[in-house]
């Protein structure tokens, strides 16, 4: 039971002239108990930007006071002159339940309202210093109404988790020398109700099919595109109004927790997209929350994003820093997520991002780096890894900013991994070319190894590459239908055997032919066709290969794990390379034939003598390939080739990849 602070109750009414037309007769005088969940130390941390669990204090919290159940409300609005809680419980009366400002000038308004609890709908009514009348949803609301309605809902995050076994082992599953293969999912369009395609499935309904599917596919993790509350569905979740609320379109917080719990029980980790880069200008959201630029920077040269027509957080304001870091911690704490993929980091790092000369303000040293945002990202990563050392933070960052995935103590930003955007763009540009012209563009595939170990890179084929006229992955591929499928299987094999962790957007794994449409389900009927079923079987086999072969993950981010064997056969468009394990007996050799011409008896240099066995072939018949397979182990000859003392002869399939592993004699 919470105890009263002993402070007096407020019997608040407001001047009806200032109450946007609410009649005096509709304004009952109701008691609001002025109690607080804040200690002096909480306030100190908040003001210093060091309070990382504000969700335990601000927002709405059901509490029992002197035997009566009610709800405590607390909101930061330092420039408000009046603030009350409105909702169904008081007929949306602006004068019924006024909150009191704290005595310490922290800008926090608070109070406890009796006889309301979980499920109550509410907003904050605010009168600003310049006389504006605002109705705002709660920045710390744990749940919200379904759009287009915009009120907050009193809720809690209590859930009886059953993922203890996963939480014990996730350090091993999340470590940087583990195989990490991520399935990127937009929950609203992965699958819809077959009987009513307009209806979103609930989180619990999605769990019934998503969990077994991801497990069968062999992905180690899923990445959920933003599931925080967002009123504008075409933003895909990247225009957030409720940072602490899961999207109510698909159910309650507990139903989302159930989905995550089920994934964990199946041995699948959950990364979540997080968007600290910008927020929309919806009237009920964070924008000009108390009539001033509270969360965003006042100067549009730092506070407005021209590309997305949204607003940029004021990273130099301590209270905003506490808000953002608390939000990162919240999803890891209350929802047991295993990591955060941080969106649009590049837009945060540079003051001149997407701005012309004269449209941005240099930093104090005259440079273009956003020093406040850089400081925030470092502090966020330190806070996250201190509290949860077994998770990962992943930066979507597309520039050459140094040290994104290097520790803060050596001057880095402190992320665990960074998306390898250059690799993705170069790879797609190469594979889009007709095979007849690829011999002049081989550098687009080899260049990535020049910088592959400068960061801890994740290789993405993300949602951004299959929308807005860019075509689906399979329809980027040249040639007839057979060649399109073969090219896609070949590209995926190159991805899984290239250094770095992996990410694949939903639909790519079975060759979705249409671009992604957030308003409808994936085209699951395509799996009735052999070609698409074959692509899916190939991805299943690649995930299995990736998890079983240590050479593909022992040194994901180190030169020690990779060696080019041949990059010079441009005429035949063949590439040969080795992936290396801690145990040399587990090393692999990979050969890519990037044309539709089979290469019979093709000589390949090998990194050691002995016999080598083909363990994967993207041209296998069960994948929809032509079935040119090297069935028998091949013994390396004492024949110098590709700068190696030993070599062997292989059949390279058309638009195919071959993976070889050394045969180790069994001990008697």
- 666 Cβ partners below 8 Å, 6+ apart? none
Contact at 8 Å (CB) between 410 and 403?
yes
Q: Read off the DSSP letter of residue 644.
A: B
Contact at 8 Å (CB) between 657 and 625?
no
How many helices and strands in the chain, by DSSP H and E? 15, 33
Going 280 to 282 to 286 to 287, the CA torsion angle's sign is: positive
- Note if 104 is an active site residue: no
CA distances 604 to 591, 637, 649, Å, are 8, 10, 6
CA end-to-end span of the chain: 70
Left (φ > 0), alpha (ψ -120 to 50) or beta: where does 561 sit?
Answer: alpha
DSSP states of 455-510: S-EEEEE-GGGGSTTS--HHHHS-SSHHHHHHHHHHHHHHHHHSSSEEEEETTGGG
Given 42, 163, 290, 396, the catalytic residue: 396
CA distances 233 to 71, 108, 236, 331, 356, Å, are 31, 32, 6, 21, 30
CA neighbours closer than 13 Å in the CB half-sphere of residue 532: 18
- Note if 396 is an active site residue: yes
Task: Please tell me the distance from the alpha carbon of residue 529 to that of residue 411, in angstroms, as a whole number.
Answer: 52
Task: Please tell me the distance from the alpha carbon of residue 224 to that of residue 273, in angstroms, as a whole number.
Answer: 6
Task: Please tell me the distance from the alpha carbon of residue 274 to that of residue 402, in angstroms, as a whole number.
Answer: 22
Task: Please tell me the distance from the alpha carbon of residue 73 to that of residue 31, in angstroms, as a whole number.
Answer: 14
Going 242 to 245 to 246 to 252, the CA torsion angle's sign is: negative
- Main-chain phi, psi angles of 248, to 5 degrees: -75, -10
Given 163, 282, 338, 343, the catalytic residue: 343
**Bond from prior residue into 490 cis (ω within 30 degrees of 0):** no
H or E, element range at 513:
none
* Pairing verdict, β 646-652 and 599-606: antiparallel
Task: Please tell me the distance from the alpha carbon of residue 333 to that of residue 651, in angstroms, as a whole number.
Answer: 52
Comparing CA positions, the residue from 427, 434, 534, 537 lying closest to residue 485 is: 534
Encoded tokens for 286: 């964070």
Q: Which amino acids are annotated catalytic? A: 343, 396
């Amino acid at each position: 039971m919470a105890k009263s602070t002993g402070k007096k109750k407020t019997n608040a009414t407001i001047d009806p002239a200032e109450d946007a037309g609410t009649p005096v007769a509709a304004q009952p005088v109701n008691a609001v108990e002025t109690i607080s969940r804040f200690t002096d130390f909480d306030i100190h941390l908040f003001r210093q930007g060091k309070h990382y669990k504000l969700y335990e204090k601000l927002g709405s919290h059901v509490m029992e006071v002197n035997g009566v159940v009610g709800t405590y409300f607390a909101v930061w609005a330092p420039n408000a002159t009046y603030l009350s809680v409105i909702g169904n419980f008081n007929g949306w009366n602006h004068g019924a339940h006024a909150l009191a400002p704290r005595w310490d000038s922290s800008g926090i308004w608070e109070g406890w309202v009796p006889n309301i609890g979980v499920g109550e709908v509410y907003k904050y009514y605010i009168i600003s210093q310049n006389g504006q009348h605002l109705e705002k949803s709660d920045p710390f609301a744990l749940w919200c109404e379904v759009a287009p309605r915009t009120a907050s809902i009193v809720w809690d995050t209590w859930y009886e988790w059953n993922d203890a076994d996963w939480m014990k082992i996730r350090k091993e599953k999340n470590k940087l020398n583990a195989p990490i293969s991520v399935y990127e999912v937009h929950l609203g369009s992965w699958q819809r109700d077959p009987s009513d395609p307009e209806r979103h499935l609930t989180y619990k309904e999605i769990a019934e099919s998503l969990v077994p599917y991801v497990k069968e596919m062999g992905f180690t993790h899923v990445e959920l595109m933003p599931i925080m509350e967002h009123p504008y569905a075409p933003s895909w979740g990247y225009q957030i109004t409720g940072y602490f609320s899961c999207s109510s379109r698909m159910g309650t917080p507990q139903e989302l927790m159930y989905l995550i719990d089920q994934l964990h029980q199946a041995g699948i980790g959950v990364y979540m997209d997080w968007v600290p880069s910008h927020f929309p200008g919806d009237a009920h959201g964070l924008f000009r929350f108390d009539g001033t630029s509270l969360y965003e920077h006042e100067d549009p040269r730092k506070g407005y994003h021209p590309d997305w027509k949204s607003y940029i957080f004021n990273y130099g304001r301590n209270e905003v820093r506490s808000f953002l870091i608390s939000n990162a911690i919240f999803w890891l704490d209350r929802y047991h997520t295993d990591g955060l993929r941080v969106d649009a980091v590049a837009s945060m790092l540079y003051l001149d991002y997407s701005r012309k000369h004269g449209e941005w303000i240099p930093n104090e040293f005259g440079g273009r780096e956003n020093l406040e945002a850089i400081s925030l990202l470092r502090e966020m990563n330190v806070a996250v890894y201190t509290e949860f050392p077994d998770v990962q933070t992943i930066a979507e960052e597309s520039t050459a900013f140094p040290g994104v995935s290097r520790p803060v103590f050596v001057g880095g930003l402190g992320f665990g991994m960074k998306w390898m955007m250059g690799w993705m763009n170069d790879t797609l540009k190469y594979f889009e070319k007709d095979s007849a012209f690829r011999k002049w563009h081989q550098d687009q595939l080899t260049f990535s190894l020049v910088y592959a170990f400068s960061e801890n890179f994740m290789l993405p084929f993300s949602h951004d590459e299959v929308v807005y006229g860019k075509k689906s992955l399979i329809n980027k591929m040249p040639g007839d239908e057979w060649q399109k499928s073969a090219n896609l299987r070949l590209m995926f094999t190159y991805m899984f055997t290239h250094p770095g962790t992996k990410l694949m957007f939903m639909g790519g794994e079975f060759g979705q032919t249409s671009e992604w449409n957030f308003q409808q389900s994936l085209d699951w009927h395509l799996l009735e066709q052999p070609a698409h079923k074959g692509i899916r079987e190939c991805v299943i086999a690649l995930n299995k290969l990736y998890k079983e072969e240590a050479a593909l993950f022992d040194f994901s981010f180190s030169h020690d794990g990779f060696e080019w064997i041949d990059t010079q056969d441009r005429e035949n468009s063949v590439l040969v390379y080795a992936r290396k394990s801690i145990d040399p007996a587990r090393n692999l050799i990979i050969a890519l034939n990037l044309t539709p011409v089979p290469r019979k008896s093709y000589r390949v240099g090998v990194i050691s003598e002995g016999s080598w066995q083909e363990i994967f072939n993207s041209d296998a018949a069960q994948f929809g390939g032509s079935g040119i397979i090297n069935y028998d182990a091949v013994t390396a000859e004492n024949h110098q080739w590709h700068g190696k003392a030993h070599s062997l002869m292989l059949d390279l399939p058309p638009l195919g990849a071959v993976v070889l592993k050394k045969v180790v004699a069994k001990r008697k």
